[in-house]
Amino acid sequence: MIPISKKIRGIRTKQNLSQEHFAKLLGFSRAYVADIETGRTKPSRRFLEAISDHYNISLDWLISKNRLFFLIESGVSLLIYIYAFEEEIIDECEKRLNKLLEYQKYIFIDAQDIRSTNRLLSRILNKTGNNQKLFEALKYRMLTEPFVLILKNISSSKIHHSDLLIWSIYNIIKDAPRQIYKSLNSDKNHQSLSTSTLIILDYPSYLEKNMNSFGQYVTLFRSTEIE
């Protein structure tokens, strides 16, 4: 669980702002911000709405104490691996994710028995084409409409080198903010733009098998952590 005081402090420090400057931008006093960040004062609705409007951050995320929701909304983790040891629990995680992301843009793909990279990309985008065109289309969508992509049972797919596919999607997501900033002639005011997130819902064995490929930058979640 992420306390709201820590979220607010994280927003401020991500912008490289002092408490005084942060407070001034939002129309509040430095003392008020300091009291919120230390937990002495609960933020008012008006304060939260000011943050939401100024930094394009949803009120749902600010209010929610769910750690997974925090990581998705803040862009702290671009690749999240949620694992369970039994099929029934993986299916239950799917239901929890659908509920958690009810008001988010997300695409859910059960990759079991999908036989190729091309087929998976076609399912994600709901369009056909060669792999190069589909990757370009995916990159464009992640640049213009950030969303959460959930891949379930990638370990049961027939995709050759599925770990390389995940690595490619991750790199598209990781590169998106730089491309957005470039297109906007960026300055620090654009650091709060959201990014897409890739979630893998699978057995732990798939991660262990491909640890050298993507194990160092993935955020791990046990199934019980997304209640």
Higher pLDDT, 156 or 181: 156
Yes or no: say if 193 and 180 are a contact pair by the CB < 8 Å rule.
yes
Domain 67-226 fold: Barnase; Chain D (3.30.370)
Residue 176: other Cβ atoms inside 10 A: 22
Task: Note the pLDDT tens digit of each residue in 44-55.
Answer: 999 999 998 998
In the chain, the percentage of residues whose pLDDT exceeds 70 is 89
Reading the block at residue 72, the tokens are 């998705």
Q: Is the pTM of this model over 0.75?
A: no
pLDDT at 191 (0 to 100): 41
**Predicted confidence (pLDDT) at residue 12 exceeds the cutoff of 70:** yes
Closest C-alpha among 154, 168, 162 to residue 110:
154
Please give the mean pLDDT across all residues of the chain: 86
Domain limits, CATH 3.30.370.10, in the chain: 67-226
Q: Which residue has the higher pLDDT, 94 or 15?
A: 94
Decide which of 124 and 99 is more confident.
124
Q: Is-contact 68 100, C-beta < 8 A?
A: yes
Strand, coil or helix: 202: strand
Least confident of 13-17, 65-69, 89-93, 200-204: 65-69
Domain 4-63: CATH class, spelled out: mainly alpha
Query: Among 79, 78, 61, which Cα is nearest to 70's?
Result: 61
Q: What residue ranges of the chain are covered by domains with CATH 1.10.260.40?
A: 4-63
CA-CA distance, 111 to 193, in Å (whole number)?
29
Task: Please check the confidence at residue 169 and state whether its pLDDT lies above 80.
Answer: yes
- pLDDT-based confidence at residue 181 (cuts at 50, 70, 90): very low
CB atoms within 10 A of CB 194: 19
Stretch (H or E) spanning 109 = strand 106-110
Q: How does residue 178 score in pLDDT terms, banded at 50, 70 and 90?
A: low
Neighbour-count burial of 162, counting CB atoms closer than 10 A to its CB (0-12 exposed, 13-18 middle, 19+ buried): buried
Which of 146, 178, 156 lies closest to 58, judged by CA? 146
Instruction: Please check the confidence at residue 161 and state whether its pLDDT lies above 70.
Output: yes
